[in-house]
Amino acid sequence: MNPVKILHLADMHLDTSFAGDRLEAQAARDRTEELKDTFHRVIDLAREEQAAVVLIAGDLLEHKTVRKGTVKYLCDLFASLPETRVFIAPGNHDAATESSFYRTYSWPANVHIFGPVWEGVDLDASDRPEGCPALPVTVYGYGFDRFEVSGHLLRDLKIADPGRINLVVVHGSDVSAVPDGKSPYLPLTPEEVAATGADYVALGHYHGARVVLEVRGPQGSRVIAQYPGSPESLDFGQAGAHGVVVGLVGKEQNRLELRHVGRREHISLDVSVAGAVSPEDVVQRVLVAVPEEGRRQHLYRLNLTGAVDPSLELDLTSLTRRLAGEFHLLRLNSSAYPEHDLDKLAREQTARGVFVRRLLARLEQEQDPGEVARWQRVLFTGLDAFEGRAINR
Amino acid sequence: MKLRKVQVTAFGRFQNLNLEFTPGLNVIFGPNEAGKSTLLRFIQGMLFGLQKPGALRRQALPELERLTPWNGAPPRGGLIYNTDDGRVYRVERDFSEKGFVRIYDATTGQELTSRYKQDRRKELLFAEEQLGLNDGTFTATACIGQMQAGQLGITQELSARLANLAGSGQEDLSITSVLKLLDGEMAKIGHPSRDSGKPLAESIRRVSRLEAEHERAQAVRQENMENERRLADLRRESADTAGRVGAMAQALAVLRRREAEQRLGRLRDLRRGLILAEERSIGLKGAAEFPATDRDRVIALSESVQRLTRDERDAAAALGRLKEEETAAAARNEGFKPLLELDPDAEAQISRNFERYTLVKQDLQQRLEAKQGLEAEAARLTEGIAVFGVLAGEADALEGRLDELDEQSGQGEVERTRLAQSRPELAAQREAAVKALGARSGLALWISLAAAAAAAGLAAVVRQPLLAALAVAALPLWLLLRRPTAAARQAAEEAEKALTGLDERLQSLDAGLTGIARQKSEVLARAGSATVAEFKARARECHSLLRERDSARSQAERLEADLRNIARTLQVTGEALVEMVAASRQVAAGLSPDSAASDLPNALALTDAHIREFRQAWVAYRRARETVDSLALQVRQAEQRLARIREELEGARADLQQRLNVAGVASLDEYGEAFRRYQAYREAETARGTAAEVLRQALTEGDEAGLESLLAELAAVPENVPEAWGEDIAELARRWEAAKEELSRQQAEVRGLEERLEQAYRDLPDVAALEAELEEARRSRQGLEDRRWLLERAREEVEAASEEVHREFAPRLNQVASAAIGSITGGRYSEVRADSRLGLRVVVPETGELRSVDDLSGGTLDQFYLALRTGMAGLLTAGGETVPFLLDDTFVQFDDQRLTRAVGYLLEVTKTSQVLLFTCHQREVEAARRYQSGVRVLELPGPVVR
């Protein structure tokens, strides 16, 4: 039995608002267009690779913000691959509710959208779309019809004919390792994946690429289930590689690889500004820390660190504005602190001394790092006042 | 701590300068520009380094540049001092950027540098540790600058400065300023709800606005998506409907073909029927001219002729019969000849006389009856009067006697009543007199005798017994009245007598009254009445009867006369009647005037019988005459009727004949035949018309050619209609139309919805952009809230710290100030208290009242300031080590007297602490020299011209 060529993607989040990136209106629109361009490259890749099956494991769209024009754009692209079968398993961000475009828009014949019960589609069925080859392949899928789906639904999946090449596409959470800030909708485990007997399980939900199940086969190791990550990096919180999975799935061997298709990456860096006395010092430190080609291409989140002169006000808005021309996108945070000799100040037999002692005592007791940071800022703000100045800490 | 020796290798303008100090007062004199301040800075620098107090980083200070000697040698030097525990230290320091600091035990030469901590700037903290003061506090407390010339308010400023020092650690920055600064920062941000227009409130408003906008946009979006769903549904429905419409059209075609075939067949049948009807109509064409409109008239005429012929026969027969009857009646009237000879007016006259006779006769009868009634009444009355017997004649006399008796009786009764009423009074008088007198029978007898005598005398005088009795009674009374004042005895006797007289009089009256009553009874018995009233009623009745009897008698007499007159009238009337009615001749005989009174009823009865006989004859005659007259009339009428019938019959016959002629027939039978043919023709014509109309109607729905071409068109349609659609073409057509309407409505709705959606998509704000903006606004709000939170917490903490310091500092300040004031005023005052704002007040020992320190004399104040200023160092040091005071031209504005006193106080200070007074004036030197012991004067070399 010949292996089948697949392209597996997930978490495109088309028309997302990029609220997390704090983009200006125009920048957000540009980014939205870039995301569509990335999707265009994915379709081009499918065409080049002559993929017989495209598996989209959820969150293709951003339900709350998606435009009808984007849906049309998608459908036009899918229609440009008439011999490729496209399977969409809607996820928690693009649940196929009654009023969603999945239900109201007229999708091309080669696109199949899964609903809230497991369904298997035989690629050699007689009613297959015109022009699509008959393949001994069955694609199983489950689609969200609401924004929260719980329960280990993968256990319900029954593969009808293990003799065929069985593909599964679903938007679910590998609960063996849930990334920070992710809600474990439709939980699943590698064991449950293995129990399905599927030849490949195309997963979505986690934005970083990750293999969930890899087994030893007669011809070496074989990846059975994985997350490809979002094709384009979507925010600073998404660690790991991004791309789409392309390759062959067969009964004994899967030859799959992660292809990079994203245009930009989200990069988070700490930049030390220790000893800086003036804003110019800070700007210089940042420019030195981030290479020029990188900052023109990618999206940076920089965290300023180190002890600075107490009189230096780290006005992040003003600094960001000064650096804006040097970066495609820059987000500045600061954990830098003013360089006070707190021990010495605490020894003073004055109200300032008492103030410092009180706050140091409080910081000593505080466990929560967030609270520690807040109370440190209270300390520095008070010390500024004792120096007769007001600085936005 | 006491400074012993300064060894400047190179520092500013100084090169290799060595100075030695005493532990007491050292006056360092040098003119302006001699380098006093540089030397001061050297000493501070040796102890704490040259950094700005509080700064963390060793910075390239402009000061260092200034203090580097002109030849570029590194600024450096040494300082030897001892601490209060007697240990001597030597410090060596190179102030240059890569310089050093080292500390040695001056006694042993051992380096102690490593024993001391360094701060993050690598500054060695030996001095801070030994003094318990950091560089900032040292500068703030140990270094004393110029004192103000003015005295007023000095302690306020002093207090404030002390408070600042204790609060912020800096003499010129107060806690109030620190708080004010934080408040100012908070005010810039503003309160979330109170400060509209300020950034925080604005930011909150912006978030709310954006949230509302976002919500609206989401709602529109949701609506769009709902509409998309509806659109999809509608399209499906529309497609279904379109399918149904097609299927119906197909079924309809099948049914139409079937119908067209049926109609075509029917059309052909109709045409055939029409041809047949036309042929029949043509066959009967000849009958078309028949004057059918005359037919009813002809029938009526023929019936009239028949009826009139019958009537003629009957009328002729009736006429014959009447004529016979007429002849018979005339024969019968022969017996009435005499009557027929009567004057034509006789009947009227008879009638009038008869009426008159009848009236007179009735009157006569009534009067006769009246007369008889009156006579009977008179007889009855005479009988009634007899009942009254004697009364009838004597009633009036008896009545007069009764009235008289009544009057007497009434008078007696009145008298008796009056006497009876007076009797109880007399009895009472007698009782009273008897009581007064006792029971003297002699007197009583006398009275009785007197009374009897009086009564006897009077009785002879008065005939009337009643009056006599009255007189007997009146006498004692009169006596009694005549002698009211007589003796009691006499009164008693008189009373007794009067009473007896009265009683006798009463008896006499009663006897009189009884006699009167008896007389009345006798009178009534004679009149046959029981009572006077009855007697009077009977008397009245008797009078009335007498009057009535007299009246009846006179009326009867008048009637007698009337009857005679009436009898005469009757006689006249009867005669007149008899004259006219021969058959009643004897009537008059019965009516003789003389017999009126005695035999009138018989005469009347005879007359009435005659009259009845005449009347019967008359009635018979009248009837006969009426019969004759009636028959004559009937004969005339019958003759007229017969003539009329004959005329009518003739007219009808002529008319009928003329109409038969017109119809071209000879007889009525022929006429009937011709009419039946005409009818058949008419029927044929109607049938032809109907057939033509039916055909015409059928053709309005299409002719054969049209149907044939329709059939040709529908030839391809299958044979049978699908069962679902039924066989009813109209019903199916209706359903098909309804379905088409529904389809077009659905299509319109689809188009409408599409347009609406298109517009809605155009109008929909960029939700993603809105979300991004909202996110940004929320972050901005959060930033401001965080900042406000920070400032609030910082303010709370500063305030808390300030309060804490104040709590600790105020008592210590009181202590220091109290000690100072005691020593300065030689025990005059011993207590000073700092108020809540650290204002200082002295306690007046005599009264315990608090006085402002400003009230102290100027010299005392100077000393007080110095005492506090130096005492402050003690307050602020951690370990109690004494501080060397560095005074820089402190007294430059003092006059000599104040200066002397101040220097005197400095010598007090030197009992515990070392003082270095830098000055450019000889005055201080001189002032110091006045106090010989413990004062060292050092002169600095003059300025070096470079």
Q: What is the pLDDT of residue B337?
A: 59
B899-940 pLDDT, tens digit per residue, is 887 788 788 888 888 999 998 888 888 888 877 666 888 888
Nearest chain B Cα distance for residue A70, angstroms: 12
B624-654 pLDDT, tens digit per residue, is 778 878 888 888 998 899 899 989 999 998 9
Nearest chain A Cα distance for residue B798, angstroms: 6
Q: Which chain A residues are closer than 8 Å to B776 by Cβ?
A: 22
| pLDDT interval class at A55 (50, 70, 90) | very high
> Residues near B212 by Cβ (< 8 Å), separated by ≥ 6?
none
The answer on pLDDT for A96 being more than 70 is yes
User: Average pLDDT in the A326-352 region?
Assistant: 84
Helix H segments across B438-531? 441-461, 465-482, 488-527
Sign of the C-alpha dihedral computed for residues A87, A90, A96 and A101 taken in this order? negative
B435-454 pLDDT, tens digit per residue, is 765 544 444 444 444 444 44
Residue among B54, B134, B798 whose CB faces A347 most closely? B134
Residues B748, B700: Cα–Cα separation, whole Å: 36
Residue among A65, A103, A386 whose CB faces B178 most closely? A386
Q: Which chain B residues are closer than 8 Å to A309 by Cβ?
A: 56-57
**In contact, B815 and B230? CB cutoff 8 Å:** no
The answer on pLDDT for A100 being more than 50 is yes
What's at B443, amino acid-wise? L
Q: Return the structure tokens found at B430.
A: 């007698």
**Cβ of B878 and A347 within 8 Å?**
yes
> Residues near B106 by Cβ (< 8 Å), separated by ≥ 6?
B80, B88, B89, B90
**Cβ of A386 and B775 within 8 Å?**
no
Residues B420, B417: Cα–Cα separation, whole Å: 5
- For residue A321, CA distances in Å to A279, A324, B789 come to 12, 5, 26
Q: What is the pLDDT of residue B840?
A: 73
**In contact, A232 and A31? CB cutoff 8 Å:** no
Q: What is the pLDDT of residue A358?
A: 93
Q: What is the pLDDT of residue B826?
A: 72
Q: What is the pLDDT of residue B76?
A: 93
Q: What is the pLDDT of residue B442?
A: 44
Residue among B179, B229, B761 whose CB faces A98 most closely? B229
Q: What is the pLDDT of residue B149?
A: 43
Q: Which of A73, A344, A360, A372 to mutate to test the interface with B (most CBs of B within 10 A)?
A: A344
The answer on pLDDT for B474 being more than 60 is no
**Cβ of A16 and B177 within 8 Å?**
no
**Cβ of B797 and A358 within 8 Å?**
yes
Q: What is the pLDDT of residue B381?
A: 72
**Cβ of B801 and A354 within 8 Å?**
yes
**Cβ of B229 and A99 within 8 Å?**
yes
Residue among A339, A340, A378 whose CB faces B797 most closely? A378
* Percent of chain B topping pLDDT 90: 16
Helix H segments across A52-104? 68-79, 101-104
Which comes out higher in pLDDT, residue B728 or B479? B728
- For residue B908, CA distances in Å to A392, B599, B825, B870, B912 come to 50, 201, 13, 11, 8
**Cβ of A374 and B790 within 8 Å?**
yes
| pLDDT interval class at B416 (50, 70, 90) | confident
The answer on pLDDT for B821 being more than 50 is yes
Q: What rounded mean pLDDT belongs to chain B?
A: 78
The answer on pLDDT for B129 being more than 90 is no
Q: What is the DSSP string of B635-701?
A: HHHHHHHHHHHHHHHHHHHHHHHHHHHHHT-SSHHHHHHHHHHHHHHHHHHHHHHHHHHHHHHHHHT
The answer on pLDDT for B665 being more than 80 is yes
| pLDDT interval class at B945 (50, 70, 90) | very low
Per DSSP, A203 falls in state: E
- Which span out of B423-437, B580-594, B722-736 was modeled with the highest average pLDDT? B722-736
User: Average pLDDT in the B158-164 region?
Assistant: 64
Residues B766, B769: Cα–Cα separation, whole Å: 5
User: Average pLDDT in the B231-240 region?
Assistant: 91
Residues B458, B472: Cα–Cα separation, whole Å: 7
| pLDDT interval class at B201 (50, 70, 90) | very high
Q: Return the structure tokens found at B886.
A: 């560095």
**Whether the predicted interface score ipTM is above 0.85:** no
| pLDDT interval class at B619 (50, 70, 90) | confident
**Cβ of B775 and A17 within 8 Å?**
yes
Residues A256, A53: Cα–Cα separation, whole Å: 13
Residue among A103, A275, A382 whose CB faces B798 most closely? A382
Residue among A65, A99, A352 whose CB faces B768 most closely? A65
* Percent of chain B topping pLDDT 70: 78
Q: Return the structure tokens found at B224.
A: 């769009």
Q: Return the structure tokens found at A120.
A: 């298997």
User: Average pLDDT in the A135-143 region?
Assistant: 96
Residue among A65, A343, A378 whose CB faces B794 most closely? A378
User: Average pLDDT in the B410-436 region?
Assistant: 78
Residues B493, B445: Cα–Cα separation, whole Å: 8
CA B417 to chain centre: 90
Q: Return the structure tokens found at B394.
A: 């004597």
Nearest chain A Cα distance for residue B93, angstroms: 22
| pLDDT interval class at B583 (50, 70, 90) | very low
- For residue B85, CA distances in Å to A230, B1, B81, B199 come to 75, 9, 11, 60
**In contact, A382 and B174? CB cutoff 8 Å:** no
HSE-CB of B874 using CA atoms within 13 angstroms: 17
Q: What is the pLDDT of residue B610?
A: 65
| pLDDT interval class at B478 (50, 70, 90) | very low
Q: What is the pLDDT of residue B294?
A: 82
Q: Which chain A residues are closer than 8 Å to B766 by Cβ?
A: 25, 29
Q: What is the pLDDT of residue A339?
A: 85
Residues B923, B930: Cα–Cα separation, whole Å: 11
Beta pairing class for B14-20 and A220-227: unpaired
Q: What is the pLDDT of residue B590?
A: 42
The answer on pLDDT for B472 being more than 60 is no
Q: What is the pLDDT of residue B343?
A: 58
- Which of A359, A76, A325, A57 has the alpha carbon at shortest distance from A198? A57
| pLDDT interval class at B58 (50, 70, 90) | very low
| Radius of gyration of chain A, Cα coordinates, nearest whole angstrom | 26
A204-240 pLDDT, tens digit per residue, is 999 989 999 999 877 889 999 999 999 998 888 766 6
Which comes out higher in pLDDT, residue B337 or B534? B534
Which comes out higher in pLDDT, residue A97 or B122? A97
**In contact, A233 and A264? CB cutoff 8 Å:** yes
* Percent of chain A topping pLDDT 70: 98
In DSSP terms, A221 is beta-bridged to A216
Q: What is the pLDDT of residue B153?
A: 45
What's at B293, amino acid-wise? T
Q: Which chain B residues are closer than 8 Å to A348 by Cβ?
A: 134, 136-137, 169
> Residues near B373 by Cβ (< 8 Å), separated by ≥ 6?
none
Which comes out higher in pLDDT, residue B153 or B642? B642
The answer on pLDDT for B806 being more than 80 is no
Nearest chain A Cα distance for residue B113, angstroms: 19
The answer on pLDDT for A341 being more than 70 is yes
Nearest chain A Cα distance for residue B52, angstroms: 12
Which comes out higher in pLDDT, residue B268 or B723? B268
Strands across the sheet with B935-939, in order?
A: B143-144, B885-888, B915-919, B25-29, B935-939
SS3 per-residue string spanning B47-92: HHCCCCCCCCCCCCCHHHHHHCCCCCCCCEEEEEEECCCCCEEEEE
Q: How many Cβ atoms from other residues are within 10 Å of residue B267's Cβ?
A: 19
SS3 per-residue string spanning B551-587: HHHHHHHHHHHHHHHHHHHHHHHHHHHHHHCHHHCCH
- Which of B569, B558, B567, B560 has the alpha carbon at shortest distance from B595? B567
In DSSP terms, B49 is beta-bridged to none
